């Protein structure tokens, strides 16, 4: 698919997703392979919900059958939140792309992701 025209958008839908992230891969946002759409991720908050233990989280972009680490074992203090993606530095998911998070231990994270589906 050719990249969607961002000037003359036919439809744009906003979405916010809240997911619990543990020690297995968790898909935070995904754009199906033949969607004909583009996803603009403009915020990703990663919150360590543990009271006393520092957590480590890895963020991947899955593209063309490859996992690309955007952050590797990002350290997050207990009861702290990291803003990983912002509106001034968004991430575009093309067809077939996914944004995935994984905690490296038993510390549970909350991931809050806001994005637009364009096309």
pLDDT(3) > 80: no
CATH superfamily of 12-118: Nucleoplasmin core domain (2.60.120.340)
Q: What per-residue string of b and e applies to 57-70 under the rule 16 or more CB within 10 Å gives b?
A: bbbbbbeeeeeeeb
Does 1 have pLDDT greater than 60? no
Whether 31 has a pLDDT exceeding 60, the answer reads yes
Q: What is the mean pLDDT of residues 111-116?
A: 97
Q: Report, as an integer, the average pLDDT of 2-27.
A: 84
Residue 108 is predicted with a pLDDT of 86
Number of residues that make up the chain: 119
Domain ranges of the chain: 12-118
How far is residue 88's CA from residue 51's CA, in Å, rounded to a whole number? Answer: 31
Residue 6's pLDDT band, with cuts at 50, 70 and 90, is low
Question: What would the pLDDT profile of 49-108 be if each residue is shown by its tens digit?
Answer: 899 999 999 999 999 889 999 999 999 999 999 999 999 999 999 999 999 999 987 778
Q: Which of 24-33, 35-44, 102-111 has the lowest mean pLDDT?
A: 102-111
């Amino acid at each position: 698919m050719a990249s969607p025209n961002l000037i003359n958008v036919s439809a744009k839908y906003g979405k916010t997703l809240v997911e619990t992230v543990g020690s297995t891969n968790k898909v935070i946002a995904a754009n199906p392979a033949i969607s004909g759409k583009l996803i603009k991720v403009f915020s990703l908050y990663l919150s360590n919900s543990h009271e006393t233990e520092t957590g480590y989280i890895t963020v991947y972009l899955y593209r063309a059958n490859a996992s690309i680490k955007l952050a590797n074992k990002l350290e997050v203090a207990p009861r702290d939140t990291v803003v990983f993606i912002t509106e001034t530095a968004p991430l575009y998911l093309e067809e077939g792309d996914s944004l995935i998070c994984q905690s490296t231990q038993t510390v549970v994270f909350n991931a809050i992701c806001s994005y637009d589906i364009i096309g």
